[in-house]
Amino acid sequence: MGRDAWKMIGRTPSYIVAVRPLRKGAITDFEVTQEMIRLLLKRVGVNRFNRPRVVICVPSAITAVEKRAVTEAARKAGATEAQLIEQPMAAAIGAGLPINEPMANMVVDIGGGTSETALISLGGVVALQAVRIGSFDIDAAIITYIRREYGIAIGEQTAEEIKILIGSAHPTPEEGRAEVRGRELMSGLPRTIILSAAEVRVAISDPVNAMVDSVLACLSEAPPELAQDLIEHGIHLVGGGSLLKGLDLRIAKESEVPVQLVRQPLESVVLGAGRVVESYEELRDMFMGARR
């Protein structure tokens, strides 16, 4: 599971299949998702005599059918109770933001398949914008660009490496180049090209623009009093996709609001879920459908 399975994508023999049981926050393979949850519960010492309550973080825009599928998978995997919490809310809790105070807390959560912007105050979501576009879409855009412009096929792992090395949402002082190896489509032979940071920025412009537009749309829905708070407290970026170089600068430039990366952007959502589990009864109002 996880990173070990990710390393196998594109490298497996015919009798092994690497799958993503969840895509863009929705279950694509119910049985594999159920087994994945069962293995995760087993890792923390759960057995048939010790059935826990489980909190699962999901995209805010998840449908009713998708909600039922996730909670049913968790229960069949061994959970005695399964509750859902919106990822931006979990991220805000994990980042230690004062979500129960009468002030604006804006969180932008950029995951693998979704990007969500939530304005939170007094323990509830005041404004929300979500798009089913995330860092995997940035990888896909890089793959498409190299195939179209150079006639070379690369894999998902190579695209992710390019994104990390020279990907950016805004020009930076130190823009490098990357050596990219792939398979030439015409000859089928291995080939190496040199890719610039500027090219990658062009390649990923569509998904990045969609993410930024979503943030701006959420800002436009903020009540005047909370909008005033944002000038002082700023926007908080979380999620793996928030690590894209220059994304904070791009959002700050277009929104004219301060933007900062939280201390643990990769772990904020799961840390928030953990705190909800620890204070289960106290934080019940945070579960999806509990208040809104």
Name residues whose C-beta falls within 8 Å of residue 232's C-beta, 6 or more positions apart in sequence.
none
Domain 2-88+272-286 part of CATH 3.50.50.60: no
Q: What is the pLDDT of residues 88-117, one digit of tens each?
A: 999 999 999 999 999 999 999 999 889 999
- In the numeric block, the tokens 């005599």 are attached to 49
More confident residue, 31 or 231: 231
- In the numeric block, the tokens 């569509």 are attached to 206
DSSP at 195: E
- Which strand (E) or helix (H) includes residue 210? helix 205-220
Q: For the chain, what are the domain ranges?
A: 2-88+272-286, 99-134+206-264, 135-204
Select 135-204's CATH number: 3.30.1280.10, 3.20.20.70, 3.30.450.40, 3.90.640.10: 3.90.640.10
Angle formed by the axes of helices 64-76 and 30-43, nearest 10°: 50
Q: What is the pLDDT of residues 50-96, one digit of tens each?
A: 778 889 898 888 888 888 888 888 888 888 888 999 999 999 999 99
Select 99-134+206-264's CATH number: 3.30.420.40, 3.40.50.10110, 2.120.10.30, 3.30.470.20: 3.30.420.40
Q: What is the pLDDT of residues 223-252, one digit of tens each?
A: 999 999 999 999 999 999 999 999 999 999
Q: What is the pLDDT of residues 166-191, one digit of tens each?
A: 999 999 888 899 999 999 999 999 99
* Domains 99-134+206-264 and 135-204 fall in the same CATH topology: no
Assessment of whether the complete model's pTM goes beyond 0.85:
yes
